[in-house]
Chain A
Amino acid sequence: MSKRSSQYYRDLIVELVKKEIKVRYKNNILGYAWSILNPLAQALVFFVAFQYILKVHIENYVLFLILGLFPWQWFLNSVIGSSVSMIANSNLIKKTIFPREYIVFAVVLNDMVHFVLSLPVLILFLLVYHPGIEARYLLLFPILVVIQLFVILGISLLVASINVFFRDLERLVAILLNMLFYATPVVYAETMIPEKLKFFVYLNPLSLLIVNYRDIFLYHDVNWKYLLLSSGYAVAIFLIGYTVFSRLKSKFAEVL
């Protein structure tokens, strides 16, 4: 089983992602609705809390929220799902030599599929609340998705491999993600951040991405600087995550 064909790796990833999707939907037509409903419910809560009660003024706030919450949801689900993925598959890892990183790939790609499938809902909201989509900006959507994919893959690989050795990392990750949510302009606008804290936007690839999702769908614009910067982060984070995972993976079977 030394060298396997590229066909094998394609089959592996396709079947693993298919499994994840089937399991999520449990062959249930309502499955799709469920996966959309969660961020929508969250959007409703934030809408009531921030615009209706706290009187924060942001135009098209519902759309604004959705454009932050959908990408955030993908990031959150993938990182949390990956953190426990090695332990959840310990039986396989201890016995077979199939490439372990594919478990993480499958988790992240599954969530990506859900994210992309939420696009029709987004477009529907755009048509209702904010007529006028500019198609040429939408062409940037796939690029943003790919950038986000590599950011998430890198972090997920890192968290998945370290969690094998430090089992309480998943708790720490949950806390950090919760803090990161409020440190990322999901419920508020980037422009509202006080000057002193602005630097944090540059340190956080998710902020950069969410600003651009909003730009292309809502403001018919694109922040090229952020696009470039987030691509740089994507490459760096993916390389770090992949390297750490590759160095640790030969020990997984010993520790699990």
Chain B
Amino acid sequence: MKENREKSIIFEDVWKYYPLYHQITGGIKRFLINLPAALKQMQNSKFWAVNGLSFEVYKGEAFGIMGPNGAGKSTVMSMIAGVIKPTRGNVIVRGRVAPLLELGAGFHFDLTGRENAILNGILLGMTKTEILGRLDQILAFAELGEFIDQPIRTYSSGMMARLGFSVAIHTNPDILLVDEILAVGDESFQKKCFAKMEDFKHEGVTIVLISHDRLTMERFCDRIIEIEGGKLKTTHRISRHS
């Protein structure tokens, strides 16, 4: 049955290596002084972050990725977001992707919440008309009250997280990428976020989640994969009676 479901993300035997850039990010001076050695090392020293990973995510599924630090979780997320291309293999992503940005990323502290919401929405791919049409909803969901027109340097980290989350979910995404973000914000807001993500699931929005917190993952996800050393280790299907 499930095999007939529409797929929204497909990884087909995906490999990704990074040349060890620290050779050059160490600086021009070091690079030039050790030029022959540096060039040779750049050719040889590759770090394979993802090693032949294959999986599929279905439309409307809540999909969790777990694994220790350096397992390749972030690289996988980056490939779904389209900011990193695989070295080998295919990554197919269908629909509009909305990443949840790190706390305050893309925000400017001297601008107001309203101004930042507009700017952030544009950075996430919306036109200004689209944002203005949803601005009331965005601001209402963020529950900023009279702080809306205050510079966000006056905000608490929870308020900033609410605004960031609110903009991301109002971009009308087909796929939402959630990367350990919800650790910030108070409990009631976390509840609200998860409730919103449940709604999304019912509307057919795919959600990919990365977290270290197994409990949260098991409570929310339909399926969890564990990766280690860039390879698939296990797949758990979570059966939930609701």
Q: Which residues of A contact B (CB under 8 A)?
A: 1, 4-5, 7-8, 11-12, 14-16, 19, 22-23, 26-27, 89, 91-98, 165-169, 172, 250, 253-255
Contact = CB atoms under 8 A, between A and B. Distances in A.
B99 A168 contact: no
B83 A96 contact: yes
B85 interface: yes
Nearest to B118: A15
Contact of A1 (B29, B105, B125): B125
Contacts of B190: none
A164 B201 CA distance: 38
Contact of B128 (A15, A22, A94): A15
Given A168-B29, A254-B18, 15 more contacts: A1-B96, A1-B125, A12-B123, A16-B122, A19-B111, A19-B119, A92-B105, A92-B106, A94-B78, A95-B99, A95-B177, A98-B123, A98-B124, A165-B24, A253-B78
B206 to A, nearest CB: 15
B108 A172 contact: no
B85 A165 contact: no
Interface string B66-88: 00000000000010011111000
A130 to B, nearest CB: 39
Given A1-B125, A255-B21, A97 B27 contact: no
Contacts of B18: 254
Interface residues of B, number: 36
Given A15-B119, A250-B85, A8 B125 contact: yes
A14 B129 CA distance: 13
A11 B122 contact: yes
A166 B29 CA distance: 9
A182 B13 CA distance: 57
A166 B24 contact: yes
22 contacts: A1-B97, A8-B125, A8-B127, A14-B128, A15-B118, A16-B119, A16-B122, A19-B108, A19-B119, A27-B110, A89-B106, A95-B99, A95-B101, A97-B81, A97-B83, A98-B122, A98-B124, A166-B28, A168-B29, A253-B83, A254-B18, A254-B84
Contacts of B12: none
Contacts of B25: 165-167, 255
A135 to B, nearest CB: 37
Nearest to A7: B127
Contacts of A89: 106
Interface in B92-119: 96-97, 99, 101-102, 105-106, 108, 110-111, 115, 118-119
Interface in B11-30: 18, 21, 24-29
A16 B118 CA distance: 10
Contacts of B129: 7
B31 interface: yes
A121 to B, nearest CB: 25
A95 B145 CA distance: 29
A19 B24 CA distance: 33
Nearest to A90: B105
A66 B85 CA distance: 48
A92 B108 CA distance: 12
A23 B108 contact: yes
Contact of A95 (B83, B111, B122, B128): B83
A75 B28 CA distance: 24
A218 to B, nearest CB: 38
Contacts of A16: 119, 122
Nearest to B16: A254
